Amino acid sequence: MDNIGRINFSVTFVGYFSYLAILGIGGYSVRNGSALRDDKKKITKFVSEVFTINVVATLIAYIFMFVLLLISSKLREYILLIMIISISIAFSTLGVGWVLSIFEDYLYITVRSILFNLISLVLMFLLVKDEEDIYLYAALSVLSNVGMGLLNWFRVKRYVDIRLTKVPNLKRHLLPIFTIFVSDMAILIYVSSDITMLGYMTSDYITGLYSFSTKIYSGLKTLLGALIIVSIPRLSYYWGKNKDLYYATLDKIFKSMISFMVPMAVGLIMVSKEVIYVLGGKEYGGARNSLILLCVAILFCELSYIYTQCILMPMHKEKWVMWITVVSALINIGLNLYLIPRWGQIGAAVTTILAEAIVYLTSKFMVRKEITIANNLGVILKTMIGCCGIILVCYICGKSIGNILLRMIVSIIFSIIVYFVIELVLDNSAIKAIMSSLYLKIRSN
């Protein structure tokens, strides 16, 4: 458990410098590059300039990281782990994944991610025998980033002739990139500062427990976020070209997020014990309460993501996003300083909920005059009725099935079936659209 805490502390530490390396290039390039992708000359110039800035930022990030490793005695205890994990920074820069997002090459991105993460996972099962193989585990954890970075570099060549440029046009790019970077760093702080502060203020054991629950939380958040990420380039394009299509797409995203986000969070809460025991073992049972709280944070997180990335960013309101997230991060740090010494991992989870809620409510307030998302009370009510079905299924399974693994599998399968049946009966438009799309694809094949 102590080594798990060391791994997660090191990953979190490197994460700060990873954000420094990427700056705000991801969000900036997707938003601005989407409008240029039909012009080969303009998009090549844009990508090359932004890539050059990315390379310089990566070098600066490594310099700062090495300086901190040299001057901090606490960090020197983790130096080899940090050095291994930091390899991912260089290959993320080389991978220029944001170029693929500009061209909406999501099929390749999905297949590539599944393939390399699967390879990494299989190697971990085969080679990592116990917690003492900590450095081997760290190396395998960055293997997927290395592979994806190398593969991306060659994939991007089919879209643009990317290269370093002597004049990266800093005047045009740097201010909006830096503004988005500040926002991203603020988000990283209120998402990851809890692990960092737990590492300094509590034990590696407590940090390991909370890190385990955040891994599950992050996995679900990433899965839900994928529904939004694939729509951002299209929304950015529509905002400048066709407002009607923009509003229609935004409404579909909101309905889809409600219809999938709420039941997934409710379902994870209901099977939280089983998930923890199956994925980590009984020694991680203490992570259950923090996982349940983080499921609540998911709701606010994804809603805030819609408002910041799907509304404010296409509107070029990155300064608003920056101030919203900076204030939330400062509040989060202050609450962590007060709550972690008193409540430990529970305090860290509570501050995450509050930080995500602040971003959501503030961003919603900021755009109230420009954009009003259609009244989706009907979808919300239908979703809540479907969630009652999930709760009932999980309760019955919990009372009637003794084996933990079997109980988790049966609960998940029948919860999905019951939820979809209820939503189809209630005529949930978002669920019907998904089912119709799947039916047409199956029929066409």
Residue 234 has pLDDT above 60, yes or no: yes
Q: Quick: pLDDT tens for 274-308.
A: 999 988 888 888 889 999 999 999 889 888 888 88
**C-alpha 436 chain-centroid distance:** 28
Q: Which amino acid, residue 108? A: Y
Q: Please name the residue that has the structure tokens 């193989």.
A: 133
In sequence order, what DSSP letters do the residues of 282-322 get, joined into one string? GGGGGGHHHHHHHHHHHHHHHHHHIIIIIIITTTT-HHHHH
Check pLDDT > 80 for residue 167. Answer: no
Asked if the model's pLDDT at residue 46 lies above 80, the reply is yes
Q: List the chain domain ranges.
A: 1-168, 179-374
Greater pLDDT, 380 or 441: 380
Higher-confidence position of 166 and 47:
47
Are residues 368 and 229 in contact, defined by beta-carbon separation less than 8 angstroms?
Answer: no
pLDDT of residue 198: 85
Q: What is the pLDDT of residues 407-429, one digit of tens each?
A: 999 999 999 999 999 999 998 88
The model's confidence at residue 113, banded by pLDDT at 50, 70 and 90, is confident
Give 439's pLDDT tier (boundaries 50, 70, 90): low
| Banded model confidence at residue 431, pLDDT cuts 50, 70, 90 | confident
Work out the mean pLDDT of the chain and round it to a whole number: 84
| Count of CB atoms situated within 10 Å of the CB of 406 | 12
Query: Would the pLDDT of 443 be above 70?
Result: no
pLDDT at 441: 62
Contacting residues for 192 by C-beta, under 8 A, at least 6 apart: 12, 15, 16
Give the mean model confidence (pLDDT) for residues 45-66: 91
- Between 302 and 27, where is the model more confident? 302
Average pLDDT value for residue range 31-41 = 79
Q: What pLDDT, on the 0 to 100 scale, is given for residue 270? A: 95
Digit-coded pLDDT (tens) for 209-228 = 888 888 888 888 877 777 77
Closest by CA position to 229, among listed 321, 335, 64, 102:
102
Query: How much is the average pLDDT of 312-326?
Result: 84
Q: Is the pLDDT of residue 147 over 90?
A: no
Q: Residue 404: its pLDDT value, please?
A: 92
pTM of the model: 0.73
C-alpha closest to that of 221 among 209, 213, 232: 213
Q: Per-residue pLDDT averaged across 224-249, rounded?
A: 78
Looking at per-residue pLDDT, the higher value among 236 and 68 belongs to 68
In the predicted structure, residue 1 carries a pLDDT above the cut 60: no
pLDDT at 3: 67
